[in-house]
Structure 1
């Protein structure tokens, strides 16, 4: 994802059922010229929505959609006690950062918001580990049996795409991979159709951009 260059203050909306927690987070914003608070009734204008909860669970994730249903919404969650939600589902919903409520300073809070606005993220080490395990399990139990990787591209599609990027003709690719030329065409055009890639150059560009090749 390309980074967003900050040219103005970061607009932040804060949601918390605890008035004291909310007041503390708002004070961090007001004491830093890089951020400003967005009122709750204008939450859709926020660059980042901060959601503070005691326990992050399935109902917390439902809350995110209810607060701001923009596809590009970015959330930072401040969690007081424990995390019980599906980490991958949280990321899919736009959660880009998680902070444990009792373990960050005002500067860390502001820096995290800036990072999220720039397109980055910040998860505690234990949640990163959980997310990696979820991705690994998905690869092992769902994708691998279907011959796919986490990118949705199969190893043989990657092989063909890499050789196309090297300038090989389809006949040369077929020889190198011990496929028929017809099979190479089937692999390449199947990939292009599935990922809505216009031509071979677009396919190569996609492969480079996503780190496949």
Structure 2
């Protein structure tokens, strides 16, 4: 199990953008909650639980079933905006393949509930399109709902003890890529960098708009444009890209 690192405020904020810390919660929980909006009219978020055994699945379903924020479904449906909640003890190639299939083929947003995760698997999980991770030992009903709602919004939500490890790994990859001949050219416009830098600092849409003298619609359009153009899965993936390529 990864131990909790000591990180600077800046490091925590940047790593949080890959999957943690948000307005109204503690650092290391949810980031960018304002980007893309919340539930608005309090529509219940559909969630489908997938687990390697019936006991694990029923345990998660029983925790979610009584919560007014979510509605448990039997199957993942991208058209219905279903969030897939996947439960794994450990990650292996089969588990990563399931994540890729659900996010890329079925178009769903995903929450990973996992017992252990190696540092080398962190970016694999983020690049699969998973922005929310919950330790199995911390998987209370409140924590599961919090992660599901973050995933539904397209935000990130990571345990605090993964943040420093993740940003350290991204930095290592960036330094290695920068030293290689023929490294790919960067693909972010200055305005996109400005927005992503503020996302990494934990600002919501309104705060970013105010700081940059943009409308909130412009901020949302900037995020949508860059994630679409660069084929990024979500805001967590976008900030991971910006960190890896040396923008922020």
Normalising TM by the smaller chain, what interval?
A: 0.5 to 0.7
Tell me by how many angstroms 1:55 deviates.
0.8
Per the alignment, residue 83 of structure 1 pairs with 117
The alignment status of 1:99 with 2:129, answered yes or no, reads no
The equivalent position to 1:3 in structure 2, one of 20, 36, 41, is 36
Q: Residue 4 of structure 1 contacts residue 117 of structure 1 at CA under 8 Å; is this kept in 2?
A: no
Tell me by how many angstroms 1:89 deviates.
1.5
Tell me by how many angstroms 1:93 deviates.
0.9
Tell me by how many angstroms 1:95 deviates.
1.1
**Distance change (3 Å), C-alpha of 1:67 and 1:207:** closer
- Bigger Rg over Cα: 1
Per the alignment, residue 108 of structure 1 pairs with 143
**Per-residue CA distance 1:127-161 (angstroms, 9 max, x = gap):** 32332122111111112556989xx54xxxxxxxx
User: Would you say how many aligned residue pairs link Structure 1 and Structure 2?
Assistant: 162
Aligned mates of 1:108, 1:17 — CA distance in 2: 20
What SS does structure 2 have at the residue aligned with 1:26?
A: helix
Indicate the structure with greater strand content: 1
The alignment status of 1:24 with 2:24, answered yes or no, reads no
Q: Residue 113 of structure 2 contacts residue 136 of structure 2 at CA under 8 Å; is this kept in 1?
A: yes
Aligned mates of 1:62, 1:140 — CA distance in 2: 28
Per the alignment, residue 99 of structure 2 pairs with 64
Q: Which has the higher contact order (CA 8 A, sep 6+)?
A: 2
**Distance change (3 Å), C-alpha of 1:118 and 1:68:** closer
Tell me by how many angstroms 1:26 deviates.
0.9
Per the alignment, residue 39 of structure 1 pairs with 74
Tell me by how many angstroms 1:22 deviates.
0.6
Within-5 A mapping of 1:58-207: 58-70=93-105, 73-80=108-115, 82-84=116-118, 86-145=121-180, 153=186, 203-207=189-193
Q: Residue 11 of structure 1 contacts residue 47 of structure 1 at CA under 8 Å; is this kept in 2?
A: yes
Which structure 2 segments of 5+ residues have no match? 1-31, 198-246
Q: Normalising by structure 1, report the TM-score.
A: 0.65
**Distance change (3 Å), C-alpha of 1:132 and 1:31:** same
Q: Residue 13 of structure 1 contacts residue 38 of structure 1 at CA under 8 Å; is this kept in 2?
A: yes
Aligned mates of 1:56, 1:107 — CA distance in 2: 24
